[in-house]
């Protein structure tokens, strides 16, 4: 089977870029080592879904022994800069389950990976779509906007021309021109370079199209092929008729250690058949065929790395906006309790804060017998709920007293 896996993977490798798994030296057309290489612990990729510890893929990662996270571009990222909805890759210890049934692990490394960085070139508020670097981006009720953008989005004004960074994934279900589904968006004024990531639609000499946007490769060595999934570093300035590429890479990921547990959430970037495919460049062998699987599907895959592939015990296909209904979780201490407005601030051990809105009637309180009347400043809680992007608060569906 390993020989078969290597054979098909070589045929599909042109589409192999890991969305979040690699610390990439993008100064050259290629890549070096990255998160997940070697070892037998846990590797998880996906958007951050909560804090107290760092929550990704339903696992709570203790980050206390890390001095910083890392950018896929090679620099350090302060742990305080990690925000809900940012897409990350986490290399960690083996997962344990505590007495409450919560999955926990200790993070050895966290890598942050954005999808797009560049100017907003168009906005359609009615359809909740905009363009960054000319590429289409869809946002929804779960998209997290930083403080600098949230009010402008709420009032539907003033985004065109701003430089923003978008975290999320590529959705090809809309047709020939893929859309980016944003899980987090922040203002990035003064960025020294722009970046893009996606499927190559057409190659014509030095001109390469991602979606319906053209990029000029005349100043860099090598060329991708149609269908490749690539990431680009782009020179700031005019994007007409084409953005100027200063570096690019298409990277396969086949160097995890046997026995490493993987949970990967992202875009299907290559398909051989319903059992053999790749998610953000990670080769996957499913135990049985996955109905409805297609290039560009957004999936969650869990399994163990063996013999050059992620041997999946679970593959789940999600619709493009299913993340709107995904619960997020925060752990922290209550302050600023306002019982008339049914709101409070929750502060994590690391100092992050989120506003929590609750309903004394419909929010579930745990343990049994507790209620909204037990809330008090200084109380330690775990809060589960849905994100309200319009006003930037967590609407609690469950509050548990610790």
Q: What is the pTM of this model?
A: 0.80
pLDDT at 26 over 50: no
At residue 324, the pLDDT reads 57
Tell me how far CA of residue 269 lies from CA of 184, 201, 229, 380, in angstroms.
Answer: 22, 13, 7, 42
What pLDDT is attached to residue 7?
A: 35
Compute CA distances 284 → 13, 20, 188, whole Å: 13, 16, 35
Q: Give the per-residue pLDDT at 253.
A: 57
Which pLDDT band, with edges at 50, 70 and 90, does 176 fall under?
Answer: low
| Banded pLDDT at 336 (limits 50, 70, 90) | very high
d(CA 179, CA 181): 6
> Which residue bears the tokens 């990029």?
215
| pLDDT tens string 127-145 | 889 999 999 999 988 899 9
Share of the chain above pLDDT 90, in %: 46
Domains and CATH numbers, the chain: 116-249 (2.40.50.320), 327-401 (2.40.50.320)
Mean pLDDT of 259-280: 86
pLDDT at 3: 39
Neighbours of 90 (CB within 10 A): 28
**How does residue 5 score in pLDDT terms, banded at 50, 70 and 90?**
very low
Q: What is the pLDDT of residues 187-199, one digit of tens each?
A: 999 999 999 988 8
- The mean pLDDT of the chain is 83
pLDDT score of 276: 94
- C-alpha pair distances (Å), 152 with each of 122, 138, 159, 188, 288: 14, 16, 7, 15, 47
Residue with more model confidence, 396 or 201: 396
The lowest-confidence range among 3-17, 38-52, 118-132 is 3-17
- Assess whether pLDDT exceeds 70 at residue 252: no
With a cut of 70, say whether residue 341 has pLDDT above it: yes
Q: Which of 139, 90, 91 is nearest to 115 (CA)?
A: 139
pLDDT, tens digit, for every residue of 135-175? 999 998 889 999 888 888 888 888 899 999 999 887 766 66
Q: 256 falls in which pLDDT band (50, 70, 90)?
A: confident
Specify the pLDDT at position 358.
Answer: 97
C-alpha of 69 from chain center: 15
Q: Is 331 helix (H, G, I), strand (E, B) or coil?
A: strand
């Amino acid at each position: 089977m390993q020989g078969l896996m290597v054979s098909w993977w070589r045929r599909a490798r042109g589409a192999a870029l890991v969305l979040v798994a690699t610390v990439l030296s993008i100064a050259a057309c290629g890549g070096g080592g990255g998160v997940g290489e070697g070892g037998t612990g846990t590797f998880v990729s996906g958007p951050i879904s909560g804090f107290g510890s760092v929550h990704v893929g339903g696992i709570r990662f203790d980050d206390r022994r890390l001095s910083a996270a890392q950018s896929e571009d090679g620099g350090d990222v302060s742990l305080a800069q990690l925000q809900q909805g940012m897409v990350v890759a986490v290399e960690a210890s083996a997962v344990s389950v505590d007495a409450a049934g919560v999955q926990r692990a200790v993070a050895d490394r966290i890598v942050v990976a954005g999808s797009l960085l560049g100017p907003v070139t168009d906005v359609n508020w009615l359809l909740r779509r905009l363009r960054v670097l000319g590429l289409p981006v869809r946002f929804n009720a779960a998209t997290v906007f930083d403080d600098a953008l949230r009010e402008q989005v709420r009032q539907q004004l003033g985004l065109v021309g701003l430089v923003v960074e978008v975290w999320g994934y590529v959705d090809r279900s809309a047709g020939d021109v893929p859309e980016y589904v944003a899980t987090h968006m922040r203002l990035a004024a003064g960025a020294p370079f722009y970046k893009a990531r996606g499927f190559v639609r057409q190659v014509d000499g030095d001109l390469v199209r991602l979606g319906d946007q053209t990029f000029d490769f005349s100043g860099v060595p090598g060329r991708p092929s149609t269908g490749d999934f690539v990431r680009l570093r782009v020179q700031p300035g005019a994007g007409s008729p084409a953005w100027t590429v200063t570096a690019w890479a298409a990277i396969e990921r086949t160097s995890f250690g046997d026995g490493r547990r993987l949970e990967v959430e992202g875009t299907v970037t290559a398909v051989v058949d319903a059992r053999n495919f790749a998610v953000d460049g990670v080769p996957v062998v499913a135990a049985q065929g996955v109905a409805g699987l297609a290039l560009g599907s957004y999936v969650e895959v869990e399994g163990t790395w063996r013999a050059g592939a992620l041997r999946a015990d679970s593959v789940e296909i999600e619709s493009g906006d299913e993340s709107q209904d995904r619960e997020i979780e925060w752990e922290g201490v209550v302050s600023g309790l306002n019982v008339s407005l049914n709101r409070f601030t929750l502060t994590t051990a690391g100092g992050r804060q989120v506003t929590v809105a609750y309903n004394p009637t419909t929010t579930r309180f745990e343990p049994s017998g507790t209620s909204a009347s037990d809330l008090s400043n200084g109380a330690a809680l775990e809060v589960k709920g849905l994100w309200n992007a319009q006003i930037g608060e967590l609407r609690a569906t469950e509050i548990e007293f610790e």
